[in-house]
Structure 1
Amino acid sequence: MLRLRCSILAQILSSHSASPSPELWRLISAATPAISPSPSFAVEEYLVQTCGLTRAQALKASAKLSHLKSPSKPDAVLAFLADLGLSSADVASVVAKDPRFLCTGVDRTLVPVVSGLTNLGLPRPKIARLVSLVGRFFRNKSVVPKLEYYLHLFGSSDNLLRALKRSSYFFSYDLERIIKPTVVLLRECGLDDCHIAKLCTDKPGLLITNHERVLEMVACADGLGVPRGSGMFWRALKAAASIRQENMAAKVDCLKNTFRWSDAEVGIAVSNAPQLLPSSKESLQRKSEFLISELGLEPSYLAHRSMLLTYSVEGRMRPRYYVVKFLRENGLLKRNPGYYTVFNITEKIFMGRFICPHTEAAPYLAEDYAAACREEMPARFIFT
């Protein structure tokens, strides 16, 4: 009966486009005190039957909820989460990670937190996503000022949610003692706010990295010849964060051997595309075989245009190469474009320049190109 009441109230609340008022949520809280606590309330069964946990998860979680004598507070929390828009799977995930979330005061904590986040401009679907990602941190009112700072730091709620999906650990650290001093250090090392947002979105763990390690990464970026304040410096720091210092020399040697570069050419290539450093040996080898062995490009050419080496052979370069070769062999090109142009332009420009103008002369070209991007070889792209 209790769960039925909570379900009905949640349906009523879901009809409101704005955040539910504290008065309405008090109806949920007030719906339960009249019911005497049941000494036989089976927490483990509740977690399985009502919250959707597996038996193993419920057994582990129930140890943290042994004090519960009735489902009144958990029912209110579940109704709140359902109204917020969390799916059954999301609710199960939240409860499995943090069983004590079910003991959070709806009126005292959850409603004020949602109201505060709404005032920051977060729509309810993103608030629901936030609950799924940060779990236990959401049941503390301090989440609102933290979110306000992080929204400014990451530049948008989408960036913040992407960072939290990669790692939510930074969310538990003290802003004043840990996070803000790290951000100040990054600014002192030549990063502007835009590049700090990009770097921390991709590498959120950097926010809680000790300062000595951050300075090591900065020194590594300096050593790669990437100037501070340049648009590539954040990428150099990202690359340095992905590779242990003792492995850096081996990575540089791998690039030299794979692309037959001199020391100077490696420096040029990495300074232009520092994201090459974390690439696997197998990936680099495939690119060398395609660009040098198959297309005949010179190593020095690639060193000065190393952004080419950040693109996928199978998903980008080879399909575009097939298109251009098809057009050339069928006399449909007025001029012969360079490979750097063909591979480097955006997909929209490539389609507009090499696909769309030839729909009459080559009606299957777009279809064949799409197939090649899926690593399927169209018969028309088999050249003799």
Structure 2
Amino acid sequence: MLAMLRLRSRVLAHFLSSPATSPVSHLHRLISAAAPAVSPNPSSFAVDEYLAATCGLTRPQVLKASAKLSHLKSPAKPDAVLAFLAGLGLSGADVAALVDKDPKFLCAGVERTLAPNVAGLTGLGLSPSEIARLVLLVPDRFRCRSIVSKLEYCLSLFGSSENLLRALPRAGGSILGSDLDRVVKPNVTFLHECGLAACDIARLCIPTPSLLSISPERIRTAVACVQGLLGVPRGSPMFKHALQAVAFLNKEKITAKVEHLKKTFSWSDAEVGIAVSKGPAVLSRTKESLQRRSEFLISELGLEPAYIAYRPALLTYSLEGRLRPRYYIVKFLKENGLLKCDPNYYTVFKESDMTFKKKFIHPHKEAAPHLEKDYDAACKGEVPTNFRFT
């Protein structure tokens, strides 16, 4: 039995390392070429050995995958699937990763489902490499015939295959598993009613594609929270950002986050409303992250709570990689008499790295030749001697 598996493994490995250029046109040739390699006795077929010898799975992966394939009594279907994957251009490592992710893919019908899906997606304009990428991203969705119609709709929604392929890993392909007519399309229609254009919805859903997969009732509740609890009206520039921040939170969690912001930054109701409406992303920050920024911005820098409320972007910048290093530079310049007046800290922190250096480091190359090197070190988490103030 083991020798037979090794022979099949060598035959299929040859195809996996030398894929056909056209998966559809060469599929039958690959399957027919692989089929005569062995004449297995179905009664002696062992899934565990097949997964290890032919698919290249590790022992822990075999144990996990074999539980979902215990019904397999013959290598016929898996062999056809592996030949199909070879035709798509997948390598042996790709196949092992795919089978580990979705063992049931080995049971998919090549003639009935997989090959027609390739033909349908090719007709939608997807290239062979994009189809192969799609198989690796969402193998469980690819073995369903509905993927073609869903991809057709999603391609028009996201604007391009690249945008869609960027979005899929972030949601585990949930949008392709959702009911188009009962969930996705009603959600898109409602977002249009909220004032979002097609391009806005695409930009919103590329980083958060699962937003379209939640129930229509839930997305309506989220919009109500954005307007009522956060005070961000439909049609405002920040509306889509606020929706993105709270779409997966219930009313109680949103209220708790708002209360925590008020407590952490000593904000009034009005101030927290301003902060959230200007920068909804603050709601996605952890309690620890917000506390550390409060201690730095208020306790160490001495900024007023109201100043931060009107500039909530300050809470989104990296504390160790941006805020502290730039603060060190300003403090060094002030203590050495190299600054004529106190700078606006929001300006200091919001500038790009190149602009910051141009304004605060390069003019002082003669007086402080070490400054840029010290700044770069501080951005990496080090604290140069020159920045150890007493």
Question: Quick check: TM above 0.5?
Answer: yes
**Residues of 2 paired with 1:298 and 1:67: CA distance?**
67
Alignment of 1:188-207 (within 5 A): 188-207=193-212
Answering whether residue 30 of structure 2 is matched by residue 28 of structure 1, we say yes
Structure 2 counterpart of 1:308: 314
Per mean C-alpha deviation after superposition, the further-off stretch among 284-293 and 247-256 is: 247-256
Answering whether residue 178 of structure 2 is matched by residue 173 of structure 1, we say yes
Report deviation, 1:222. 0.7
Output the amino acid matched with 1:273.
G
Per mean C-alpha deviation after superposition, the further-off stretch among 195-204 and 358-367 is: 358-367
Output the amino acid matched with 2:309.
A
**Residues of 1 paired with 2:69 and 2:291: CA distance?**
54
- Answer whether contact 1:320 1:342 (CA < 8 A) is retained: yes
Alignment of 1:35-54 (within 5 A): 35-39=38-42, 40-54=44-58
Answering whether residue 347 of structure 2 is matched by residue 341 of structure 1, we say yes
**Residues of 2 paired with 1:202 and 1:231: CA distance?**
18
**Residues of 1 paired with 2:174 and 2:355: CA distance?**
40
Output the amino acid matched with 1:129.
R
Report deviation, 1:54. 4.0
Question: Structure 2: where are the runs of 5+ without partners?
Answer: 1-6
Which of 82, 102, 108 is 1:104 aligned to?
A: 108
- Answer whether contact 2:18 2:86 (CA < 8 A) is retained: no
Structure 2 counterpart of 1:278: 284
Report deviation, 1:354. 3.3
Structure 2 counterpart of 1:234: 240
- Answer whether contact 1:29 1:73 (CA < 8 A) is retained: no
Alignment of 1:287-306 (within 5 A): 287-306=293-312
- Answer whether contact 2:12 2:54 (CA < 8 A) is retained: no
Report deviation, 1:360. 5.5
**Residues of 2 paired with 1:320 and 1:123: CA distance?**
46
1:297-333 CA-partner distances (Å, limit 9, x unpaired): 1111112112212222222211111123334444555
**Residues of 1 paired with 2:45 and 2:293: CA distance?**
62
The verdict on how the C-alpha distance between 1:375 and 1:175 changes in structure 2, with shifts beyond 3 A counting, is same
**Residues of 2 paired with 1:128 and 1:33: CA distance?**
23
- Answer whether contact 1:2 1:72 (CA < 8 A) is retained: no
**Residues of 2 paired with 1:195 and 1:187: CA distance?**
9
Structure 2 counterpart of 1:136: 140
**Residues of 1 paired with 2:299 and 2:281: CA distance?**
23
Report deviation, 1:338. 0.8
The verdict on how the C-alpha distance between 1:361 and 1:94 changes in structure 2, with shifts beyond 3 A counting, is same
Per mean C-alpha deviation after superposition, the further-off stretch among 186-195 and 43-52 is: 186-195
SS at match of 1:13: coil
- Answer whether contact 2:9 2:54 (CA < 8 A) is retained: no
How many aligned residue pairs are there? 380
Which of 190, 199, 222 is 1:217 aligned to?
A: 222
Structure 1 counterpart of 2:3: none
SS at match of 2:19: helix
The verdict on how the C-alpha distance between 1:357 and 1:76 changes in structure 2, with shifts beyond 3 A counting, is farther
Which of 269, 281, 285 is 2:275 aligned to?
A: 269
TM-score, normalising length: structure 1 = 0.86
**Residues of 2 paired with 1:382 and 1:59: CA distance?**
55
Report deviation, 1:233. 0.5
**Residues of 2 paired with 1:378 and 1:52: CA distance?**
50
The verdict on how the C-alpha distance between 1:59 and 1:307 changes in structure 2, with shifts beyond 3 A counting, is closer
1:238-274 CA-partner distances (Å, limit 9, x unpaired): 2222432113332222222211121111111111112
Report deviation, 1:234. 1.1
Report deviation, 1:279. 2.1
Report deviation, 1:337. 2.8
Report deviation, 1:88. 4.5
**Residues of 2 paired with 1:43 and 1:231: CA distance?**
55
Per mean C-alpha deviation after superposition, the further-off stretch among 25-34 and 119-128 is: 119-128
- Answer whether contact 2:17 2:91 (CA < 8 A) is retained: no
**Residues of 2 paired with 1:263 and 1:114: CA distance?**
55
The verdict on how the C-alpha distance between 1:261 and 1:61 changes in structure 2, with shifts beyond 3 A counting, is closer
Structure 2 counterpart of 1:251: 257
Alignment of 1:146-161 (within 5 A): 146-161=150-165
SS at match of 2:389: coil
Question: Structure 1: where are the runs of 5+ without partners?
Answer: none
Output the amino acid matched with 1:52.
G
Q: Runs of 4 or more off by more than 6 Å in structure 1?
A: none
Structure 1 counterpart of 2:377: 371
**Residues of 1 paired with 2:385 and 2:178: CA distance?**
57
